Amino acid sequence: MSTFRFPRLLALGLCLALALPALGCVKSAPTSYYLLDSGQPPPQTGALPDKMLRLGAVGLPEYLDRRDLVLRHAESSLLEVAGLHQWAEPLDKGVHRVLREVLAPRLAFGGYSLLPDSDAGEHAPILVVDILRLDGDFNSDSSLTARWQLRDRLGATLAQGIFSAEQPSGPDFASLARSQGVLVQRLGEHLAGRLAEVLHIRAPR
């Protein structure tokens, strides 16, 4: 019996030796990382305006509270989490960064410094943004829905609203990330207009 077992063991060992490199290739597949782009030039240095406005932490629904990009297929309830395609920073931080980069120069024209909530204390109005939806599909549209509220330093609501928009996306994850970055830019531009109305800021000529 032992004379027949050795060839079988040898064959099994050869199969494993051939299979292990292939398994190694699967495990070492690279992860791609993406950033939301504000489309804004680098911020200019200089003195900050005297009046302050806080931008609170951005809220996310549970399905977006992850590093992975999320696809929603054909406007259905079917979601796909892309494990090898991730945001390079937490999504709420990325949305917060883009909104600040879009809003800050517009508010500065009206004499307002836009600061993170933690930097401005509790003695300034606050803009609160909650993302309700941010996803999309290849060769289709990315969709963004956000709820926002501007409160005074005592917590009273000065203005509020809901923003919803779509942006065409391309055939891959890079184009999907770009389209979602454009959507956040559009949210920032919408908020800039609404804040200008409430805070009586004239548009730059």
- Between CA 154 and CA 161, with CA 156 as vertex, the angle to 5 degrees is 140
Summarised one tens digit per residue, pLDDT across range 37-92 is: 998 887 666 666 778 899 999 999 999 999 999 999 876 788 999 989 999 999 99
- Domain locations along the chain: 6-199
Q: Is 132 exposed, middle or buried (0-12, 13-18, 19+ CB in 10 A)?
A: middle
The span from the CA of 121 to the CA of 48, in Å, is 16
One digit per residue, the tens of pLDDT, for the chain of length 205 reads 444 454 554 455 555 555 545 544 445 679 999 999 998 887 666 666 778 899 999 999 999 999 999 999 876 788 999 989 999 999 999 999 999 999 999 998 888 989 876 655 667 899 999 999 999 999 999 999 999 999 998 889 999 999 999 999 999 999 999 999 999 999 999 999 999 999 888 765 5
pLDDT at 190: 97
Q: Quick one: tokens of 129?
A: 């943004």
Domain 6-199 bears CATH identifier 3.40.50.10610: yes
The span from the CA of 31 to the CA of 10, in Å, is 36
The residue length of the chain stands at 205
Alpha-carbon separation of residue 9 from 4, 15, 20, 138, 201 (angstroms): 9, 10, 16, 48, 80
pLDDT at 37: 92
pLDDT at 27: 57
pLDDT at 1: 45
pLDDT at 23: 47
